[in-house]
Each structure stands twice: as structure tokens, then as C-alpha cells.
Amino acid sequence: MKAPEAPHLPEVLADYTLGNAAGLGWTNTVYALQAPGRRGFFRAPRSATPPPGVDWAREGALLATAGDLAAPVLFFDPDTGRLATEARPGAPLGSASLKAGPCCLALGQQLRRLHALPYPKDATPFHPARYALHCLHRAGAQGISADPRWQGRLEALLPYPLRSDRLTHNDLHGGNVLRHGLRFTFLDWELASPGDPRFDLVTLATHLGLGRRQAAALFSSYGAALPSAGEWRTLETLHWLREYAWALWARGEGIREAEVQENQAAEALARLEGP
């Protein structure tokens, strides 16, 4: 999949100048925005068809209620997913930051605020196994087949009970969390929907490579008990199954970088299946 040509800015952004692509993601191209004394970013989806699980109208409604947990919105088009936001200070979150008690405490508290945000009552609850099977279905339509081991594991975990009474981000990793002192900005709300906060926390801890002690500190700062070893293993398995299925869908879309994630996820799943 090639990056799209630089888009024309809507009238509401007439004071801004579109700069070079600041980032080329799997599903979006992000451009820098510049105006006198102001900076921002403009997101242009790489396809007219939303990725699996993405509902741009739902995302817009959530961003309108997120307050300081998200970057302020300058423009949003729910029909195309084009989004412009103000630039927020900060750097991507790394595991080293969470070694400091105040930072870990602040992150836990702000994640709890995120999970307390209202969500559309008609939104489909997020279950990682169901979502991953949807990705595999989309990949299959492009001629990409899943490893039978991981598809079977997904089907077996489909009934795994998860909460769906809190708003969850569902794509938490260090690159989607900007840290500025003790303030955090959460990016990429495309998959946010009602779900289980434990999956968000385990996903973030897994992406950051947190050890057991750091993960326990994050859960404690959030105000929740650390899952048992068995629960953690299942939640981590669901995380890697979701990553694997997403990578297969992306490969079917012609995104070659997805092969790295596919292999990483398959290796993690093989490790988790071991004794």
C-alpha cells in the first residue's frame, strides 16, 4: 500500500500549512501542521475503507469527551477519518519512566480516568478474540491464511469472559502514550470502545516489556489487583493473537512492515504455549 498524495486541507484549517509526512503508519499518514504560534498534526487514512474494528464516527464522539486525555481536535470528518489535532508536548512512553513512583502513579490514575469516560451505548463491546477473528476474515478475503494453531487458539478463547462496562483504548503501547512530566496524552482512539480495563493494562505492560514488579506497580497505581499468573497468561495470549491477526490483515493490504509483527507475535504465542 502506497502513502496517499498530500491531501488538501479543509477550510477550517486555512490558517495552517501542511508540512511533510511526520509519520507513515499502517493505516494512516500523519502530516505536520504549522500556523503562526501554533503547531498540529493532520491524519489522513491510507484507505477509504476503515480498518477492522474502526468506526470513525464513534472515534469522533469519544474525542469530544476525552478532555485533556487526548490532543485537542481542530477538525474531524467522520466519513473519511481525516483528523487534525493540536500538537501536545511529550515523548513516547518508555518502561524506564515507570520506575519513578510518581510517574507510575500518575499514569495509573489517568488510565483510570480514561476508562471512566462515557461511551456510545450502542457501541459493540471489544473482545480481542472476536476482533482478531474479524481481522482473519478480512485477511482471508485477501488470500492470506492464518496458522491453524493460532486460529484454533482464538476460537477456543472466544468465550473467555471479559468485562465490557468501561471505555477501553484497545491499542495501548508506548507510541500511543505521550508523557510530559506527570501528564499523559493518549493517541489513536480508533479502536476505543467498551471493554475490559485489564486487557488495556496487560497490553501496555506487554508492549513496554514490564517485569512483574513494574506491572504490579502499574496495577496498584491504577487501583486494581494484579491478575493471577494464569489470568495474565491468558490476557497476554489474547494480546498476541490480536497482534498476529492484525498483522495478517495488514499484510493482505500490502503493508510489508506487518511481517515483522506477524513473526514477533507468532514467536510470543509459541513461548506462551510452552510449558
Among candidate residues 32, 34, 45, 40, the one with its CA nearest the CA of residue 4: 45
Residue 47 pLDDT: 83
Cα separation, 165 vs 236, in Å, equals 20
The percentage of the chain sitting over the pLDDT mark of 70, rounded to a whole number, equals: 97
Contact 252, 138 (CB under 8 A): yes
Residue 257 pLDDT: 83
The DSSP element (H or E) to which 30 belongs, if any, is strand 28-35
Angle between helices 128-141 and 229-252 (to 10 degrees): 20
Q: 154 phi and psi, to 5 degrees?
A: -60, -50
The 10s digit of each residue's pLDDT in 96-122 is 999 889 999 999 999 999 999 999 888
Percentages (nearest 5) of helix, strand, coil residues in the chain: 45, 15, 35
Lowest mean pLDDT among 46-55, 64-73, 244-253: 46-55
The 10s digit of each residue's pLDDT in 160-173 is 999 999 999 999 99
Residue 46 pLDDT: 84
Cα separation, 86 vs 76, in Å, equals 12
More confident residue, 193 or 255: 193
| pLDDT score of 18 more than 80 | yes
Cα separation, 150 vs 166, in Å, equals 28
The 10s digit of each residue's pLDDT in 255-275 is 888 999 999 999 999 999 976
| Structure confidence at residue 4 as a pLDDT band (50, 70, 90) | low
Lowest mean pLDDT among 22-26, 52-56, 150-154, 216-220: 22-26
Residue 124 pLDDT: 92
More confident residue, 33 or 49: 33
Query: For the residues 151-155, what does the mean pLDDT come to?
Result: 97
**Amino acid letter at 11?**
E
Residue 140 pLDDT: 96
Across the strands, what pairs with 250? none
Domains in the chain, CATH or no CATH each: 11-86 (3.30.200.20), 91-273 (3.90.1200.10)
Residue 5 pLDDT: 67
Q: Mean pLDDT in the chain?
A: 94
More confident residue, 3 or 263: 263
